[in-house]
Amino acid sequence: MNIALEIAASGRGAVEPNPMVGAVIARGDLELGRGYHERFGGPHAEVNAIAAARRNGVDITGATMYVTLEPCSHQGKTPPCTDAIIAAGIARVVLAMVDPDEQVSGGGIETLRRAGVQVDVGVRGRQAEHLLRAYCKLRKTKRPWVICKWAQTSDGYLALAPGCGRWVSCPESRRRVHEIRSWCDGVLVGISTVLADDPLLTDRSGRPRDRGPLTRIVLDSHLRLPADSQLIATAAETPVIVATITGAEMRAAGALSAAGAELLELPACDAGVDIAALLDELGRRQYTNLLVEGGARVLSNFIESGLADELLVFVSPQTAGRQAASQALPALDIAKLAGRFSLPDATETRVGSDTLLNYFL
């Protein structure tokens, strides 16, 4: 099962909104074949593992299949995996977890057992649930997994003083961010970030995105997004959603729509656009992972409203210095947040000269 979990992760960013799944066929300690779900709409892990065993020229009749998620028993983009398992003569299936998808949810297990296949459930279940946390959330709550990401100085600022350079984080951290973007469906910022930085917000990881480009989302209650911004200039090639409030001043709407941006009207709340309503809409569109990149107010709104699932904080050894407060540099210090909220322990990773803190809320 450890091998199955490891290879399942290879599908991250390619299979969503489907789950990452890995499968290994074995007889005793001898591995006969392995496979994982490689791309959305393609063969599932179980079918790929059976095909690999056949390419290896081995007989899998009576063998055991270890699979990280309950096999599907319904016709979707591919035939039911339970049919392939039964036809291959697999005698036993060991599962990490039951599929929370209402189309499966125990149906695959029942189908296999009716066919005389022994099914055992719960091996490495916690690890599988962690791997599939975004998939499980989408299936259970109809909302995407929300990752709040920022880079801060060691003294808690999101920018450096004028003349001290543009980047808070190191080049290795910036490359890591593009890797993260590569397996997300959308990246979100507030209008203040766009007005201050004019970001492009594209995925420049170099990884293929067969399921479509990363969608850029801007929270913009009063439609202040400049028509000459980089986001609008590239909207025809890479999607842009402008999330605004119902009944907002719409004079700019025509120009933004004509440039290729989608105007999404949502209810208003005290903080502007109702981000809970936005998450509901993105869930309806089958977004699995949403990356929230800023600015400080937007990030704080997600965290304080309990809508963030994960924090990724790149802490630089640089400091903003004594002038930071007087120059009104944006601030969001993870140390102060930890003092206000009961944050779980973070996983610490060294990324170049930075420290990456990863919290699961």
* Neighbour count for residue 115 (Cβ, 10 Å): 13
Separation CA 64–CA 26 (nearest Å): 5
Residue 46 known to be catalytic: yes
pLDDT digits (tens, 9 = 90+) for 308-324: 999 999 999 999 988 88
319: left (phi over 0), alpha (psi -120 to 50) or beta: beta
Query: What is the structure's pLDDT at 208?
Result: 86
Query: What is the structure's pLDDT at 286?
Result: 96
Query: What is the structure's pLDDT at 76?
Result: 66
Query: What is the structure's pLDDT at 268?
Result: 92
**Residue segments in the chain with a per-residue pLDDT below the cut of 50:** none
Separation CA 310–CA 297 (nearest Å): 17
CA distances from 202 to 182, 187, 291 (A): 9, 8, 12
Query: What is the structure's pLDDT at 255?
Result: 83
Query: What is the structure's pLDDT at 304?
Result: 95
Q: Look-up: residue for tokens 């392995």?
A: 34
Q: What residues contact residue 87 under an 8 Å CB cut-off, 6+ apart? A: none
Query: What is the structure's pLDDT at 16?
Result: 95
Instruction: Check 31, 46, 70, 310 and give the catalytic one.
Output: 46
Query: What is the structure's pLDDT at 102?
Result: 87
pLDDT digits (tens, 9 = 90+) for 331-349: 999 999 988 888 999 999 9
* Neighbour count for residue 13 (Cβ, 10 Å): 23
Separation CA 35–CA 7 (nearest Å): 7
Query: What is the structure's pLDDT at 139?
Result: 96
Query: What is the structure's pLDDT at 141?
Result: 97
Question: What pTM did the predictor assign?
Answer: 0.94
For 345, counting Cβ atoms within 10 Å of its Cβ (0-12 exposed, 13-18 middle, 19+ buried), the class is exposed
